Amino acid sequence: MSTEPFRNVCLLPQTNQLLGLYTIIRDRSTARPDFIFYSDRIIRLLVEEGLNHLPVMDRPVETHTNETFKGVGFKGKICGVSIVRAGESMEQGLRDCCRSVRIGKILIQRDEETALPKLFYEKLPEDIADRYVFLLDPMLATGGSAIMATDVLIKRGVKPERIFFLNLICSKEGIDNYHKAFPDVKIVTGAIDRGLNEDKYLVPGLGDFGDRYYCI
């Protein structure tokens, strides 16, 4: 699906390799070890793409041949914030790309009486307002949890343009809802599904990501 109608959405190039990875993790018959392995590969691609969008500054270095290489370095510090529990599956992919990266956590669960998301727990770096933040959650369906998590970050002083929301699959409805609340947050995703079913699951989707990743 083209992202032309969507402002501030970066869709990974839909290469045969990426489509092959999604074919494996969407397949209901894929065993858990394979689901984890191929999901991790996609997560790594999402993190790499997210890093491409961070601002840089000139950083010349001297090489072993006594030449100067006109390189670049990131302007600021970053951190990851996972929406527990499924978002925790994306933490290792961030660590694989960024050594000693700080990780925060936000726990949001659906209130059984109201069916609305409710904040239960947050643990974030004290200096998070000075960092670029990768918000991590594999699925963007209605956007309720992501909106609440982003609101927590902004209340802690993080500027919306410093937040990058990384997810494997999202829906148009989720994008619309999320960007209605936070139009300046960039979404980095690998797939945009056609919609949601009556149970608010992404379709074609892949089921419950957290259950498939963590449960035997």
Number of domains in the chain: 1
Q: What's the pLDDT tens digit per position in 70-86? A: 999 998 899 999 999 89
Cβ neighbours of residue 43 closer than 8 Å, sequence gap 6 or more: 89, 90, 92, 93, 166, 168
Boundaries of domain holding 124:
9-57+74-214
Catalytic residue, chosen from 63, 65, 68, 114, is 114
> What is the layout of strands, in order, in the sheet containing 78-84?
9-11, 186-189, 163-167, 132-136, 78-84, 102-110, 117-123
Flag whether 69 is in a domain: no
Flag whether 52 is in a domain: yes
Catalytic residue, chosen from 110, 111, 151, 184, is 110
Q: Residue 69: what pLDDT?
A: 96
Flag whether 198 is in a domain: yes
CATH of residue 164: 3.40.50.2020
Catalytic residue, chosen from 27, 130, 176, 211, is 211
Q: Which residue has the tokens 């609440």?
A: 148
Flag whether 37 is in a domain: yes
Lowest mean pLDDT among 46-50, 73-77, 79-83, 176-180: 73-77
Flag whether 79 is in a domain: yes
pTM over 0.85: yes
Flag whether 62 is in a domain: no
Average pLDDT over residues 165-190: 96
Q: Residue 1: what pLDDT?
A: 45
Active site residue 28: no
Active site residue 110: yes
Flag whether 122 is in a domain: yes
Flag whether 65 is in a domain: no
Q: Which residue has the tokens 């083209």?
A: 2
The residue type of 191 is: A
